[in-house]
């Protein structure tokens, strides 16, 4: 079959079937990812609360890594899917190869961070020697050996962008299960392995990432006929880089804001007690069970919207958006119930002390009140990216996490009551929903409504 005669399922399958078939494998893999992140912290909590706090304080740097990684992947995903919709296969292949080069550059950046910045990073947050010790062990390994995660995510994005989400699921599952199996062995020294503590958790994570990388590479080389990887005669094309980062750079900045937000919240909370910072870390681990399926849903939606925008299929775009919002709200409703009804049990997974339970139970219940609002915001921000307008996503995220959440959290902390700080989450999300609705209305008029039909 010639390149010009190919028909991709994103242009012809019924939208609901397409969204489910593309999203469910990613959602399953992301739930497993959330599981192994939680398992990491559960095992580490049995070392000591200081070790758990160290992993919580590490989270902003890991968020930066995710921001650079996933943000670039979003740009590659959006441009590649649009190129598929336009049947421009030269751009499809060039986009994929540029994505891998960018993943290698990101690896070098975080290797440097791992060798030079880890200790100063922890010293900026705490003087507790035990927290710093565990944090240096954990974060140093994660940064220095980041090759696996950067290249695995980029290769997985190529599978998602071309509609092969089942292979994405397999790679994620393999990496996650490897991590889950190795965690107790390497942390506590089982089966003849030396007891490595927090370093063992990091080593298990890195090994799992390399397993995912090798599988994703195999699937792209053997199962992805839409993309041809190869660097023979390769030259950087700044036009392609520009198209990738028109969407990707705002996404990188948007997700980096989460790192800034978490870092600043840690500083606010640790001013009360290190236990409050640990509670925030537990919240981020637990909320991934709620948010990761929604992100997986969006990862399935983005190439559908981008492809059909390139193919000028207005009705399919609108139906994909409506279905994504419906499914996201169902997931968020379930998550809200889980957080409110089972709060003591969730905290009990982390060997919570009486002090942590006293702080954590009201904290998780207050924060959970913003989940339904967040579902709407998350879907619209992904729609903005799919349509090539990442700046709207960036502005919404900046408003939510920096302009509103942090000042409100700081003002509430002035009361001396740590429980008031948590109300910053629903307040910020309410503002973000209103802003995202305004942006979608404008984007609909300028982009979607102009498509015939």
Owning domain of residue 297: 13-448
Instruction: Please tell me the predicted confidence (pLDDT) of residue 234.
Output: 78
Instruction: Please tell me the predicted confidence (pLDDT) of residue 8.
Output: 66
Instruction: Please tell me the predicted confidence (pLDDT) of residue 4.
Output: 40
Tell me the two tokens of residue 92: 């499809």
pLDDT tens digits along 315-328:
888 999 999 999 99
Task: Identify whether the C-beta of residue 19 lies closer than 8 Å to the C-beta of residue 323.
Answer: yes
Q: Which of 67, 44, 49 is nearest to 263 (CA)?
A: 67
Please classify residue 401 by burial: count the beta carbons closer than 10 Å to its beta carbon, then call 0-12 exposed, 13-18 middle and 19+ buried. Answer: buried
**Distances from the Cα of 430 to the Cαs of 52, 385, 399, 426, in angstroms?**
31, 21, 11, 6
342 domain residue, yes or no: yes
2 domain residue, yes or no: no
Instruction: Please tell me the predicted confidence (pLDDT) of residue 1.
Output: 37
Q: Which of 278, 276, 271 is nearest to 125 (CA)?
A: 271
Instruction: Please tell me the predicted confidence (pLDDT) of residue 32.
Output: 77
5 domain residue, yes or no: no
Q: Which of 288, 352, 350 is nearest to 44 (CA)?
A: 350
CA angle, 68 then 148 then 172, to 5°:
90
Tell me the two tokens of residue 60: 């902003």
C-alpha gyration radius of the chain: 21
Distance CA 449, CA 61 (A): 40
Instruction: Please tell me the predicted confidence (pLDDT) of residue 417.
Output: 94
Task: Identify whether the C-beta of residue 350 lies closer than 8 Å to the C-beta of residue 410.
Answer: no
Number of structural domains, the chain? 1
**What residues in the chain have per-residue pLDDT under 70?**
1-8, 453
**Distances from the Cα of 70 to the Cαs of 20, 153, 299, 386, in angstroms?**
22, 7, 11, 14
Exposure string for 190-228, b = 16+ CB within 10 A, e = fewer: eeeeeebbbbbbbbbbbbbbbbbbbbbbebbeeebebbe
How much of the chain exceeds pLDDT 90, in percent? 47
Instruction: Please tell me the predicted confidence (pLDDT) of residue 2.
Output: 39
pLDDT, averaged across the chain: 88
1 domain residue, yes or no: no
4 domain residue, yes or no: no
- In the numeric block, the tokens 């190919």 are attached to 6
Residue 231: its H or E element? none
Give the single-character DSSP code of 192: T
3 domain residue, yes or no: no
Task: Identify whether the C-beta of residue 81 lies closer than 8 Å to the C-beta of residue 163.
Answer: no
8 domain residue, yes or no: no
Distance CA 195, CA 230 (A): 42
7 domain residue, yes or no: no
Distance CA 140, CA 414 (A): 34
Task: Identify whether the C-beta of residue 399 lies closer than 8 Å to the C-beta of residue 258.
Answer: no
CA angle, 178 then 143 then 280, to 5°:
80
Distance CA 434, CA 106 (A): 34
Instruction: Please tell me the predicted confidence (pLDDT) of residue 5.
Output: 40
Q: Which of 127, 163, 124, 161 is nearest to 20 (CA)?
A: 163
Distance CA 231, CA 254 (A): 31
């Amino acid at each position: 079959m010639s390149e010009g005669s190919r028909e991709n399922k994103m242009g012809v399958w019924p939208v609901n079937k397409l969204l489910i078939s593309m999203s469910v494998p990613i959602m399953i893999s992301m739930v497993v990812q959330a599981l192994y992140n939680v398992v990491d912290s559960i095992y580490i909590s049995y070392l000591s609360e200081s070790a758990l706090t160290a992993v919580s304080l590490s989270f902003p740097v890991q968020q930066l890594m995710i921001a650079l990684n996933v943000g670039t992947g979003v740009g590659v995903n959006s441009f590649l899917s649009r190129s598929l919709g336009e049947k421009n296969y030269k751009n499809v292949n060039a986009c994929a190869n540029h994505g891998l080069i960018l993943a290698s550059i990101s690896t070098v950046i975080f290797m440097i961070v791992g060798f030079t910045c880890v200790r100063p990073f922890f010293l900026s947050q705490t003087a507790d020697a035990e927290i710093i010790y565990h944090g240096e062990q954990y974060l140093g390994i994660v940064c220095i050996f980041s090759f696996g995660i950067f290249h695995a995510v980029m290769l997985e994005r190529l599978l998602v962008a071309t509609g092969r989400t089942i292979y994405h699921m397999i790679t994620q599952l393999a990496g996650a299960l490897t991590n889950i199996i190795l965690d107790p062995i390497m942390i506590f020294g089982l089966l003849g392995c030396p007891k490595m503590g927090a370093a063992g958790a990091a080593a298990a994570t890195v090994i799992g990432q390399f397993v995912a990388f090798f599988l994703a590479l195999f699937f792209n080389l053997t199962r992805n006929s839409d993309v041809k990887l190869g660097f023979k005669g390769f030259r950087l094309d700044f036009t392609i880089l520009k198209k990738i980062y028109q969407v990707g750079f705002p996404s990188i900045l948007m997700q980096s804001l989460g790192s800034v937000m978490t870092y600043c919240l840690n500083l606010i909370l640790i001013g009360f007690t290190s236990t409050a910072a640990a509670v925030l870390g537990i919240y981020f681990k637990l909320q991934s069970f709620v948010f990761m399926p929604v992100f997986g849903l969006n990862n399935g939606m983005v190439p559908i919207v981008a492809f059909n925008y390139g193919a000028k299929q207005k009705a399919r775009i609108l139906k994909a958006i409506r279905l994504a919002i419906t499914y996201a709200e169902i997931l968020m409703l379930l998550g809200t119930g889980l957080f409110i009804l089972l709060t003591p049990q969730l905290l009990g997974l982390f060997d919570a002390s009486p002090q942590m339970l006293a702080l954590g139970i009201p904290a998780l219940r207050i924060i959970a009140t913003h989940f339904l609002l967040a579902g709407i915001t998350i879907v619209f921000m992904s729609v903005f990216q799919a349509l090539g307008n990442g700046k709207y996503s960036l502005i919404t995220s900046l408003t939510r996490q920096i302009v509103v959440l942090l000042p409100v959290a700081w003002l509430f902390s002035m009361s001396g009551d740590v429980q008031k700080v948590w109300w910053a989450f629903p307040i910020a999300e309410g503002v973000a929903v209103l802003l995202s609705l305004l942006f979608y209305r404008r984007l609909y008029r300028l982009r979607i409504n102009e498509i015939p039909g």
